[in-house]
Amino acid sequence: MAARPTWQGHLKLSLVTCPVALYTATSSSERVSFHLINPDTNNRIRMVATDPDTGPVERSDLVKGFEVSKDEYVLFDDADFDKVKLESTRTIDIGQFVDEDEIDRLYWDDPFYVVPEKGVGTEAFAVIREAMKGAGKIAIGSVVIRGRERQLALEVRGKGLVAWSLRPHEEVRDVDDYFDDIPAVKADAEMVEIAERIIGQKEAKFDPSKFVDRYDDALKAMIKTKQKGGKGLVEAPEPDDTNVIDLMAALRSSLKGSATGAKKAPAKKAPAKKPAAKKKAA
């Protein structure tokens, strides 16, 4: 396997354990990324760790500090972090099972692939996986990754498992703080009916392969143009004016436009046969 594991340890269900590895399920390597460049020399700028009193310092000599008051820190080195030995540092202990719809979507975060290590643990992994599949539930456990203990939601996916890190409750903002001030407006029934018909015309199968980052594509096109000596100008159409005055008229126009767009291909083929039929009759 080409990718390096993010975490290695054991998956535990009661007294059954097996060695596993976590791999990040997503990648951002295809995105356009930039470096800071000095335009006078075309040299890449390097960020140098600097002490305001002594000047540049080696990053390998630095330690981490928690600020307890202004300019006063409690220092931590690698040995200090190693002393914090929770079971979840090396073990994902499945503590409970819940229905998927019980987990608010606001809490779902990053996905990881859970893969068994080759060897004797493969059979134990298969037992845990098949038991989870039969239960039809989401397993909840915890693990320490990158210096933080994270709650995990694990689900069966093919021959493996997918573990989703869950955001802590204190990190999820209260929805009432944002929605309470939305004024209570009774929507017109006819307008709602038209909007529902528009939604029906736009129904489709979910296909993530069709989702592209057009801004990223425009940057790539600009990079190619600049490589060839061009100015790299990429023009994008201005967005339509969204200042809606007559909501009913906008809905009716949207409904008409959606219907025309959905039937555009068949509409072009049908008229093409009628002129031919008339000529034969003549």
What does the pLDDT look like over 209-233, one tens digit per residue? 888 888 888 888 888 888 887 665 5
Check pLDDT > 50 for residue 135. Answer: yes
Residue 59: inside a domain: no
At 106-118, the pLDDT tens digits run 999 999 999 998 8
Split at pLDDT 50, 70, 90, the class of 238 is low
The confidence score (pLDDT) of residue 55 equals 92
Residue 218: inside a domain: no
- Report the C-alpha gap between 1 and 121 in whole angstroms: 18
Q: Which helix (H) or strand (E) holds 81?
A: helix 78-82
Query: Looking up tokens 């540092």, which residue turns up?
Result: 89
147 Cβ contact partners less than 8 Å away, ≥ 6 residues apart = 81
Contact 161, 111 (CB under 8 A): no
Check pLDDT > 90 for residue 99. Answer: yes
Residue 164: inside a domain: yes
Residue 216: inside a domain: no
- Report the C-alpha gap between 117 and 183 in whole angstroms: 55
- Report the C-alpha gap between 128 and 161 in whole angstroms: 10
Residue 228: inside a domain: no
* Helix, strand or coil, per DSSP, at residue 274: helix
Range with the poorest average pLDDT among 6-20, 67-81, 187-201, 218-232: 218-232
Q: What value does the mean pLDDT take over residues 112-139?
A: 90
What is the tally of structural domains in the chain?
A: 1
Tokens of 183: 């004024």
* Average pLDDT of every residue of the chain: 84
- Report the C-alpha gap between 203 and 197 in whole angstroms: 10
- Report the C-alpha gap between 138 and 108 in whole angstroms: 12
* pTM for the predicted model, two decimal places: 0.72
**CA proximity to 15, closest of 93, 105, 109, 114:** 93
Q: What value does the mean pLDDT take over residues 129-138?
A: 92
> The domain containing residue 100 runs over which residues?
7-28+83-171
Residue 110: inside a domain: yes
Residue 91: inside a domain: yes
Check pLDDT > 70 for residue 94. Answer: yes
Residue 36: inside a domain: no
Say which residue, 260 or 153, is predicted with more confidence.
Answer: 153
Check pLDDT > 50 for residue 155. Answer: yes
The enclosing domain of 11 has a CATH number of 2.40.290.10
Contact 17, 91 (CB under 8 A): yes
